[in-house]
Structure 1
């Protein structure tokens, strides 16, 4: 039997963060394009001739249900835009939130399990990292302006959605079967994590001598 020698190539440590960031941005842009592709025509959404005062509260709720089923992607886009505008107008809160998201991504979600986190000579396990990130999230959401800003932005977006859904007549809308929207908005995180783990593993070359 021929002997088999196994050699391990050392991965380029400097290229792993670049590959991970590139994969993350690529999957994020793909998810955003997919989300926007579900939007109904904005000319129908803002058709001024289709707006009228509802006859009753039940009529308003009926319109809202049908409009939400039809313009679901448009409503989520508006809600996201309102939330983004609220954050952009408060740069300090935006920086804090982005820092928190970056900590979750690069310290937990995108970090390969084979690559431990070492700070000041101490190695942190996944449970310890998760506990620290959860505590940090609670502090950021409840003890800074980020939480109130997110809540106010979401409430403002919901108010806009409800107003449009109640006053936009739904008789001209024809519902059809749509694929579930929003399920893949953050799927790029798990996919990128798998890709990062694959990139972190050193390739093994098996050669016959």
Structure 2
């Protein structure tokens, strides 16, 4: 069998199906439907990069009135693109800060483990009997130092600051398109 016929009959190994990833995550069905609704509502009107990075429309605003008009128009028109910018900064922050990524994974799996335990039955580990309150307290007791070591507070401020500079800078310096004139009438 040739390699071209084998690759055409099977999907490549690097292909990842988004639904299978969502099913593998420890997320409740209610939160999964919320994420799906967010994806369908907010990210459905994603603008193309040629429009988002249109160099001909970048210009210096003439004053505060012009800045507020540009912000008002661009923040609503490019809302989905700005959400992707913030998510990209968040992913970049997690990739470059291993301890923060480890801490978040530890918290998610710890909370998911405790949530899946039967509500009124204690957890028995060897000869120790541990209640759910004690498990939550232990998770908090371990997570607080991990969050401090991973600089979670500074990461949050960095994401907020970098997002504000990028999003507000783009929105203030990008002149509204021709279609904005028709929307005002």
Q: TM-score, normalised by structure 2?
A: 0.64
Query: In 1, Cα distance between the equivalents of 2:142 and 2:72?
Result: 38
Q: Give the number of the structure whose residues are more often helix, by fraction.
A: 2
Tell me: CA distance 1:22–1:57, structure 2 relative to 1, closer, same or farther (3 Å).
closer
Query: In 1, Cα distance between the equivalents of 2:139 and 2:72?
Result: 38
Q: Give the number of the structure whose residues are more often strand, by fraction.
A: 1
Structure 1 match to 2:10: none
Q: What SS does structure 1 have at the residue aligned with 2:43?
A: helix
Q: TM-score, normalised by structure 1?
A: 0.58
Following superposition, the deviation at residue 114 of structure 1 comes to 4.3
Structure 1 match to 2:103: 96
Query: In 2, Cα distance between the equivalents of 1:173 and 1:99?
Result: 48
Structure 1 match to 2:57: 50
Query: In 1, Cα distance between the equivalents of 2:179 and 2:121?
Result: 54
Structure 1 match to 2:156: 150
Tell me: CA distance 1:60–1:133, structure 2 relative to 1, closer, same or farther (3 Å).
farther
Following superposition, the deviation at residue 116 of structure 1 comes to 4.2
Tell me: CA distance 1:119–1:172, structure 2 relative to 1, closer, same or farther (3 Å).
farther
Aligned ranges 1:78-89 → 2 under 5 Å: 78-89=85-96
Structure 2 match to 1:159: 165
1:71 correspondence with 2:88? no
Q: What SS does structure 2 have at the residue aligned with 1:122?
A: strand
- Number of equivalent positions: 154
Following superposition, the deviation at residue 132 of structure 1 comes to 4.9
Which runs of 5 or more residues in structure 1 are unaligned?
Answer: 1-19, 177-209
Residue deviations 1:89-146 (CA, integer Å, cap 9, x gap): 12232112222222233323xx265474515332423x55555555555544445412
Q: What SS does structure 2 have at the residue aligned with 1:37?
A: coil
Query: In 2, Cα distance between the equivalents of 1:117 and 1:52?
Result: 64
Quick check: 1:97–1:146 contact (8 Å CA) kept in 2? no
Query: In 1, Cα distance between the equivalents of 2:138 and 2:91?
Result: 27
- Superposition RMSD on alpha carbons, in Å? 3.4
Query: In 1, Cα distance between the equivalents of 2:82 and 2:64?
Result: 21
Query: In 2, Cα distance between the equivalents of 1:149 and 1:22?
Result: 24
Match of 1:168 among 168, 171, 174: 174
